[in-house]
Structure 1
Amino acid sequence: MLKVSDNRRFLVHGDGRPFFYLADTAWEILYRLDREEAEFYLQDRAAKKFTVIQMVGLVEYGFAKPNRYGQIALIDSDPLRPNEEYFAHADWLIACANALGLTVALLPTWGDKWNKAWGAGPEIFTPANARAYGEWLGRRYRNANLIWVLGGDRHILSDEHKEMIRAMAEGLSEGDGGAHLRTFHPPGGHSSAQWMHDEPWLDFNMWQTGHDRNRDTYHAIESDYARTPVRPCLDGEPGYEDHPASFNPANGYLDDYDVRKSAYGAVFAGACGHTYGCHDIWQFLNPAWAPPVTYAHTPWREAIHFPGSGQVGILRSLIESRPYLTRIPAQPLLASDTSIGTDHIQATQDSHGRYALIYSASGRPFRVHLDRLSGEKKTMHWFDPRTGAARFGGDVPRQNVKEFTPPSSGPGNDWVLVLDDASCAFPSPGSSVYSGA
């Protein structure tokens, strides 16, 4: 099972091995896919180096309509009367994901079932039945590889809302014996920390930065990284690939470049992982079965091949190619302005100074305080976040400040500078995975 690292910044396996949270938003997979389709999707995500699948038990769209096997989740919309056949399919799906090495981040319910600010509803939860439903789920999935995600894209607007979430979280742990981590999925532009940071049940914070172009995801992570008590944090829902920017098709659709900027900005700012999303995948768009939601326009079996879904796995490989649990944000390493318009530069480094990774969102040159890193001599690579290829740039002698110019510039020409203490003999960032501390 997963746990929080000793330094409270990361997630790790039970034996202490690092766990990079790389999730996809498959919110409605329980409702919209049959088993052949679900297995096809999960195999694709496992092959692309995802580690987590975010999915919902009681979905937002179609809650009252049967799933692909003709089953509804609850009898008479009663949380105390779960439909065994519906959850038997959930059992199969979770087991299938786990067998492929994927952890399931399971939302017991979408938020419209306790706060119908929008969506289909109905509101069905009270603190009492939320606790009972949570305990039932916890017992059922006690031995599965899971993370519990409370909330579901809704605001906490009252003490009763907060008490319902607290009761469900406590019920889950009563049922599973505290085996699984717990977090909260907030609405767009908000963090779980806004309402839950001091809750004793919360293990790590989750943002939803939302579906606009050029969102400063790094600022969102910086704010949660700086909170006390210290908790791991990540963006659980950034802009989806193929989502209309700001929900308006006239603004164009987000693409893989938007995905990369959010991902590298967040992870280099201190996130313990990241979530990818595709607008067509979360709803598994199939117009023959259900109409599209908010201007989705690509069938999911086509959208599964969008480049962003592979490029986030490249980010995971880069992070895992260097010592993991000592990685920290490193903006003071930069001797240049970090942002000019949307052309952001974000740095992360090893706390011992053995390496640094610096992301330039549009290939803009930048200056680095090399004297803040270890080693008389450093090696440099230019890492391509589109392909995972690394170009060796030679040795860099010790000096105070040096300017670096990426291989190309302009929108879509993002690059990562990899600086290593030459005495550490790390592998090329484009070749292998580091397994050390």
Structure 2
Amino acid sequence: MNFPHRPWPSSLLALSLLALGGCGGPETAAPAEEVASAASPLTLADYPLKASADQRSLVTASGAPFLYVADTPWLLPSKLSQADVKTYLDDRKAKGFNTVQVMFLPMLGQNLTKNFYGDVPFNNLNPASPAITPGATTDPTDAAGYDYWDHIEWIIDQAGQRGLQVAAAVCWYGYGGSDWRGYMTTSASAAYGTFLGQRFGAKNNLFWILGGDNNPIGDIGSLPAGLDAGDRVEATNALANAIRNTEAKRHLMSYHAKRTASSAAYFVGQPWHTVHFAYSNERTYSYTLTDYNRATVRPVVMPESYYDARTSSPLLDRRRLRAQAWWTALSGGVGFAYGHENVWDMDSGWKPALAAASATDIQTFASFLAGHPTHLLRPDHRTGNTQKLLQGGYGSTSTNGGLDYGVSAIASDHGFALAYLPSSRSDLVVNLAALGGAGVKLSWFNPGTGGAKTLIGTYAGTGTKALAWPTGYTDAVLVAERSGTTPPPPGALFRALNLNGPALTLDGRAWESSSGAANVTLTGTLFENQAVPLVPATDASRAQMIRSSVYGTAAKVRVGAVPSGTYDVYLHVWEDNATKTFDILAEGVLVQNDYVSGAPGQWKRLGPWVVSVTDGALDLATSGGTANLSGLEIYQH
């Protein structure tokens, strides 16, 4: 929110696989096709959220993928009546939001000290002394039994009844320290955190937010006179740990820093810090990708960017507002928070502002992504990745302030890919081999109107395709989908290698034992465990090959005496222990980005990757988590 400038959704993402059509050659005309819709609505039982096993995404309590799509009615707890709270929640539920980000406490920088009913949160503004009235009632007119914290609990429960998560900023520090920072000493923070954990820690639908528009070191330019001006790293840790030690259920937690600062900059090593908050300016792709690329991997959420109806620069039109969400989702983010100037502070225009077209665009964004397994998406426009969805058309981060920059992401299973283009361009070229060499179906989606995708055509998975900008679009989403359930039949077999086992025959093809094969070098540790049940189950010979492997965090296979040319390459991998995430490079080119190995026993035949050999040897290498490499197939392309 960055005061004094005022400052992923939908139903449960039962993520259906994309419709897979036939593989073809030339462009074929076809009518528009409907975007898949989400399934079962979220309920209270889907919370609390947690990080996925690979720490790349968010999942529900039962493990289903979750896209965090939030609105920012920050002052709702202190400014709205019960009736207005219900009006607001009903509207945001209907518009596909699944999270509301609110401040538990009145915003002192806005001269607020009480809620709508005249109740205060603390005795004498002391966070160590919550103002509690004995009694239990949901009637706010009952002054003897309904206090400030009863109202907070009522709001949480009302959100939960609608399947909404409350992302609770529990002590907004404020722009330059203008709000609660000066009161949150280490001892007061520990006491307040204990109270929060005991009072609300059993609620399902909570996500804790610490800080607020403020960096914990320095950043006290607006601190009121007479308050504690010390840094707040220790106090923030005390607050977080007190909540952790007393909450009955484990909730996700992050820190809301100053604009363009990440929570990870201060708390990346803290066990309580379970989500990277990438607070951004308008160019959300930059800040999201920075947090995505951190060595400590956590789900990345964009908790704020710029709001609709601003009165100071930057003034964003509808297209530029929705670009922030699309940039986030295709740059490694698993959550985005929308905002409106009249809604964040619940001013006199908040009710009409609920109907803003920009909010409808977020509904379109969320609905579209709910029809795709977005938890598999990995940003492929990042530096160092040579196998991108586009070979031309990204634009530049240095042109027009980076506001015309395109981004793209490819699913880790190479089933689909998306590119977001914030403005028209004439140099669009698609890499048709980006999905691994299978056939590819291309479509346009209009993020400004929603509705149906428009098919461009279906093509073989090789070469490139130049595209014209779609008529009538101000910005566009390009959708690429693998157009066959299995890769196309390979050419003549060049070599098939069992990387840590005997020679055998699979599918009528002879496989060599790498131990006796000529011109084969393995880097890593040889490993075998034939007792692990495989998922999916397979025949005995294939199972024997899969369960023997070479493993390592930098495993390598080098096959020499390979004539210069182009080859289709498949690699069998499996998991024997716990989920790992790793990349695979062929001839130094990233061909598999952030592959998630899955639970023990899971295996997969990855590829085909179209690999060009020019130096007489074919080299495969892994990086990241421990990879088990079992079998390698090389075919003439």
* Bucket of the pairwise TM-score, normalised by the shorter protein: 0.7 to 0.9
Q: Which of the residues 230, 236, 241 maps onto 2:303?
A: 236
Matched, 1:220 2:267: no
* Structure 2 residue runs without a partner (length 5+): 1-47, 133-146, 219-229, 382-387, 487-597, 599-637
TM-score normalised over the length of structure 1: 0.87
User: Is the 2:202–2:249 Cα contact (8 Å) retained in structure 1?
Assistant: no
Q: For 1:183-262, what aligned pairs fall within 5 Å after superposition?
A: 183-210=254-281, 215-246=282-313, 253-262=315-324
Query: Which residue matches 1:5?
Result: 52
CA distance in 2 between counterparts of 1:178 and 1:424 reads 41
Deviation for aligned residue 1:388: 1.9
1:310 to 360, 364, 381: 360
Deviations 1:345-391 (A, max 9, x none): 11011112111111111132421211121464222221111222222
- SS state of the match for residue 150, structure 1? strand
Contact 1:241–1:258 (CA<8 Å) still a contact in 2?
no
The residue aligned with 1:157 is 217
In terms of fraction of residues, the more helix-rich structure is 1
Q: CA separation in 1, counterparts of 2:333 and 2:477?
A: 17
Q: Assess if the C-alpha contact under 8 Å between 1:59 and 1:109 holds in 2.
A: no
CA contact (8 A) 2:432 2:459 kept: no
**Larger strand percent:** 2
Query: Which has the larger displacement, 316-325 or 2-11?
Result: 316-325
Aligned mate of 1:413, from 461, 474, 478? 474
Partner of 1:117: 176
CA contact (8 A) 2:197 2:244 kept: yes
Query: Hey, what does 2:137 align to over in structure 1?
Result: none
**Pairwise CA distance, 1:237:** 0.6
1:300 partner amino acid? W
For normalisation by structure 2, the TM-score amounts to 0.60
Determine the C-alpha separation between the residues in 1 that align with 2:271 and 2:417.
34
Whether the 8 Å CA contact 1:192–1:206 is kept in 2: the answer is: yes
Q: Percent identity?
A: 28
TM alignment of 1:15-414, pairs within 5 A: 15-60=62-107, 61-62=109-110, 64-84=112-132, 85-112=147-174, 117-121=176-180, 123-144=182-203, 145-157=205-217, 160-177=231-248, 179-210=250-281, 215-246=282-313, 253-286=315-348, 299-331=349-381, 332-340=388-396, 341=399, 342-365=403-426, 366-374=428-436, 376-389=438-451, 390-408=453-471, 413-414=474-475
Distance in 2 (CA, whole Å) between partners of 1:130 and 1:51 is: 29
Hey, what's the Cα distance between the residues in 2 that align with 1:36 and 1:422? 50
- The farther-off stretch of 359-368 and 187-196 is 359-368
| Deviations 1:81-132, CA, capped at 9 Å, x for gaps | 21230111111111111111110000111114xxx73535572121112011
Partner of 1:428: none
Structure 1 pair 358/122, CA: closer, same or farther in 2 (3 Å)?
Answer: closer
RMSD: 2.0
Instruction: Give how far 1:64 is off.
Output: 4.9
Structure 2: distance between partners of 1:202 and 1:146: 15
In 2, Cα distance between equivalents of 1:122 and 1:175: 22
Unaligned 5+ segments in structure 1 are 287-298, 426-436
User: Number of paired residues?
Assistant: 400
**For the residues of structure 1 that align with 2:70 and 2:333, how far apart are their CA atoms?**
13
TM superposition shift of 1:327: 1.4
Q: CA deviation at 1:421?
A: 0.9
* Amino acid corresponding to residue 82 of structure 2 in structure 1: R
* Greater Rg over alpha carbons, structure: 2
The change in CA–CA distance for 1:245 and 1:329 in structure 2 (over 3 A counts) is: farther
